[in-house]
Amino acid sequence: MKSVKYGLLGHPLGHSFSRKFHNDRFAALGIDAEYLNFDVENVEMLQQILAENSNLRGLNVTIPYKQQVMPMLDELDPLAERIGAVNTIKVMPDGKLKGYNTDIIGFTESLRPMLPEGLQTASLVLGTGGASKAIFVALENLGLNPQYVSRTPGENCITYADLSAEVMASHLVIVNCTPLGMHPKVEGCPAIPYELLTPQHICFDCVYNPAETRFMQLAAAQGAKVKCGQEMLEGQAIASYEIWTSK
């Protein structure tokens, strides 16, 4: 039995990337640890998981619990508090739980090389779920003035019908935070006016399976720069491990 455990809290976890990534990395680096999936239908089962796994030192959190888990934590990192979502929990030496968000780290590190130096533009965040909150703050930090887009209007949220030629021309960075196009429903894609994209546009898809989504294909056909979420996922995973093992 491994001396230390980490894991993923969410539901469902059938196609999760994290378990294989972390366990392969532990094996390659000779780290005495294992990473488990905790697929639970109720976030309240967190306490039972902790009670049954005394050597659990950290958790990642995924859909649908990134916000639901927050009231169960003893402390929040200021950045996670600002984002309003947690994807990483550190079990402190005294047993208390501290929440972090490393999605913002993975996304920022993956997007930044795509941005031309001195780029001044606004950005569109497609979707308003838990993942979109970290993306929104990351874009704010990069000075890209984000705007939510969803099927229904809301606070700081326009609809897909509002994506006029003027809006598309002034928002050169577009990030898909919806699950549209994710395996196995690979034909899906957000309903943006792809014909209005140009070679100046940057289209980032948080979906990582498949590696080239329909969103990316349609954007690339207009000359836009595209990227999937694989590098973002790996970046957030490594950042989570660094948090779990930090003093």
Q: Which residues belong to the active site?
A: 66
Q: Which residues contact 68 (CB under 8 A, 6 or more apart)?
A: 43
Token pair of 35 as six digits: 């990473």
Token pair of 237 as six digits: 């995973």
Task: Using alpha carbons, list the distances in angstroms from residue 9 to 6, 13, 28, 42, 134.
Answer: 10, 8, 24, 10, 18
35/93 Cα distance (integer angstroms): 19
Q: Which residue has the tokens 């993923």?
A: 8
